């Protein structure tokens, strides 16, 4: 295991009706003027936004609102939010929605207290200061409610890039699984896929002897395999949604990723798809992960075979461990298909003729030098082949 720091100070309020405590929590964490940031309208239709406002009113906390965050959130609204926060002297950002809303809130929170262009953070500058952030999560997926990360798409060039820093870990996150019951099945499945991807990106490591985090990841993956189909079959299954929601947080606050190198090639390759085609991030990952894994598994056959045996229940073939590794990847692919996720470029709305453009942006865009690195380093030729495997 490698040396590591782990600092995860987010306060979690989990369970039914907890959104009614939003005002008290904002007060507890020092907010006196709030920006309520939300998406395309699901929180208006569900009545959640009204409940959150009532909770702020009850505590006497004034607020301004900015809705309209799109899935795969854009830089334009972030600039608007920064202006609004400066003009209105906002000192707390409250995200009401999914990963896109939370990430946009994080960008606004960092950009408001920064003199330069907020995009500097998405070019690699560490976020060391930000307004405090609270979240009320409505979809189990991105894990942004407990993570120090934010992913934004810059409209000029459509670069989808991440920024990081403990300063943007939420001060509090309210997780009420019942709020996710209104999700369309496709979006629920995309969230399940994203959570499973966050676990795989950490499982694929070059660090030896990391049994505790290996076992945590395997346990969370087994949970997703058990609960995912239950919630697809019955969207109102509160208990299954509760387990998935907490697994989504655990998968990405890095408690199971500490002390080990991580992968993230599947995410980098997928981000180009959701930037160009505006597909759901999780759906893009369903197409990307099996292709990446089939391309790289020979780098460490036994790691893939271990995952196949421990998580997918495959029989270990000691004479031919490659076949065990491949059986595990096939099981993942079948699972994703069974919950309604796409498995090919076509189903995602992606086009083969765009592959050179995807590879160019992936490997050269926004300061990259011709490759991406993770479990293995992938150059332009590798990435071209991986995209072709998805067609």
**Among 55, 105, 144, 193, which residue sits at the site for ligand NZQ (rule: CB under 6 A)?**
144
Question: Which is nearer to ligand NZQ, 103 or 308 (by Cβ)?
Answer: 103
Between strands 63-66 and 34-38, the pairing is parallel
Between CA 88 and CA 106 the distance in angstroms is 17
In angstroms and rounded to an integer, the radius of gyration of the C-alpha atoms of the chain is 20
The binding track of 87-126 with respect to ligand NZQ, each residue x by CB under 6 A or -, is ----------xxxxx-x-----------------------
Tokens of 316: 């270990």
Q: Collapse the DSSP code of 386 into the 3-class scheme (helix H, G, I; strand E, B; otherwise coil) and give the result.
A: helix
Nearer to ligand NZQ, 138 or 213 (CB): 138
Cβ-closest position to Zn ion: 194
Binding mask 63-82 for ligand NZQ (x = CB under 6 A): --------xx----------
Query: Residue 31: which residues within 8 A CB-CB, separation 6 or more?
Result: 61, 91, 92, 94, 132, 134
Question: What tokens does 189 get?
Answer: 């499945």
Does residue 143 interact with ligand NZQ by CB under 6 A? yes
The sign of the dihedral angle between the CA atoms of 358, 197, 279, 330 is positive
Residue 268 found at the interface with Zn ion (CB under 5 A):
no
Residues 220-259 that bind ligand NZQ (CB under 6 A): 252
Q: Is 165 in the site for ligand NZQ (CB under 6 A)?
A: no
Q: Segment contacting ligand NZQ (CB under 6 A): 109-117, 134-142, 297-305, 323-331?
A: 134-142
Q: How far apart are CA 391 and CA 30, in angstroms?
A: 51
Selected binder of ligand NZQ within 36, 183, 244, 269 (CB under 6 A): 183
**What stretch of H or E contains 150?**
strand 149-154
Q: Which of 187, 205, 213, 361 binds ligand NZQ (CB under 6 A)?
A: 187
Which residue in the set 34, 104, 122, 149 belongs to the binding site for ligand NZQ (CB under 6 A)?
149
> Which two three-digit tokens encode residue 343?
């498995």
98 binds, among Zn ion, ligand NZQ, none (CB under 5 to 8 A by kind): ligand NZQ
Of 248 and 309, nearer to ligand NZQ (C-beta) is 248
Distance between CA atoms of 336 and 346, rounded to whole angstroms?
16
Write the burial class of residue 295 (CB in 10 Å: 0-12 exposed, 13-18 middle, 19+ buried).
middle
Q: Which of Zn ion, ligand NZQ, none lies near 68, with the C-beta cut-off 5 to 8 A by kind?
A: none
Q: How far apart are CA 183 and CA 102, in angstroms?
A: 17
The residues pairing with 318 across neighbouring beta strands, listed in sequence order, are none
| Residue 199 Cβ vs Zn ion, minimum distance, rounded to whole Å | 10
What is residue 175's three-state secondary structure?
Answer: strand
- Considering CB under 6 A, how many residues would be counted as binding ligand NZQ? 34
C-beta separation of 217 from 202 below 8 A = yes
Alpha helices in 204-344 (DSSP H): 211-233, 238-252, 265-277, 281-296, 301-310, 321-338
Q: Please choose, from the candidates 137, 148, 53, 60, the residue with its C-alpha nearest in 3D space to the C-alpha of residue 109.
A: 148
Q: In terms of CB distance, is 42 or 173 closer to ligand NZQ?
A: 42
Residue from the set 20, 28, 32, 40 that interacts with ligand NZQ by CB under 6 A: 40
Minimum distance of ligand NZQ from residue 267's CB (angstroms)? 6
214 binds, among ligand NZQ, Zn ion, none (CB under 5 to 8 A by kind): none
176, interface contact from ligand NZQ, Zn ion, none, CB < 5-8 Å by kind: none
| Binding pattern for the stretch 184-203 against Zn ion, x by CB under 5 A and - elsewhere | ----------x---------
308 binds, among Zn ion, ligand NZQ, none (CB under 5 to 8 A by kind): none
Give the residues lining the site for Zn ion (CB under 5 A): 194
Give the residues lining the site for ligand NZQ (CB under 6 A): 39-43, 71-72, 97-101, 103, 138-139, 141-144, 147, 149-151, 179-180, 182-183, 187, 191, 194, 252, 267, 281-282
């Amino acid at each position: 295991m490698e040396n590591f720091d782990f600092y995860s100070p987010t306060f979690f309020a989990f369970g039914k009706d907890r959104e009614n405590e939003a005002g008290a929590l904002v007060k507890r964490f020092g907010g006196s003027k709030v920006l309520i940031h939300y998406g395309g309208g699901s929180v208006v239709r569900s009545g959640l936004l009204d409940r959150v406002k009532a909770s702020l009113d009850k505590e006497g906390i004034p607020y301004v609102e900015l809705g309209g965050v799109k899935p795969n959130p854009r830089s334009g609204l972030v600039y608007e939010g920064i202006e609004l926060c400066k003009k209105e002297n906002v000192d707390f950002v409250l995200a009401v929605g999914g990963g896109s809303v939370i990430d946009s809130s994080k960008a606004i929170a960092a950009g408001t207290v920064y003199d330069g262009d907020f995009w500097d953070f998405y070019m690699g500058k560490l976020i060391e200061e930000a307004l405090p952030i609270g979240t009320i999560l409505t979809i189990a997926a991105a894990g942004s409610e407990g993570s120090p990360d934010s992913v934004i798409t810059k409209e000029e060039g459509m670069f989808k890039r991440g920024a990081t820093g403990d300063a943007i870990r939420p001060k509090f996150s309210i997780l009420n699984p019942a709020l996710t019951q209104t999700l369309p099945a496709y979006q629920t499945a995309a969230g399940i896929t994203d959570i499973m991807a966050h676990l795989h990106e950490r499982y694929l490591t070059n660090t030896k002897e990391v049994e505790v985090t290996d076992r945590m990841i395997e346990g969370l993956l087994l949970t997703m395999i058990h609960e995912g189909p239950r919630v697809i079959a019955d969207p109102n299954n509160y208990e299954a949604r509760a387990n998935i929601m907490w697994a989504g947080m655990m998968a990405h606050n890095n408690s199971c990723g500490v002390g080990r190198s991580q992968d993230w090639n599947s995410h980098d390759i997928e981000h180009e798809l959701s930037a160009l085609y505006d597909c759901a991030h999780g759906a893009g990952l369903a197409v990307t992960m099996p292709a990446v894994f089939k391309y790289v598994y020979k780098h460490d056959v036994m790691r893939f075979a271990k995952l196949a045996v421990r998580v997918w229940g495959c029989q270990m073939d000691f004479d031919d461990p490659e076949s065990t590794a491949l059986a595990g990847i096939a099981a993942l692919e079948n699972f994703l298909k069974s919950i309604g996720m796409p498995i090919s470029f076509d189903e995602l709305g992606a086009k083969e003729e765009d592959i050179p453009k995807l590879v160019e942006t992936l490997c050269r865009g926004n300061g990259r030098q011709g490759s991406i690195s993770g479990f293995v380093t992938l150059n332009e030729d590798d990435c071209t082949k991986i995209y072709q495997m998805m067609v």
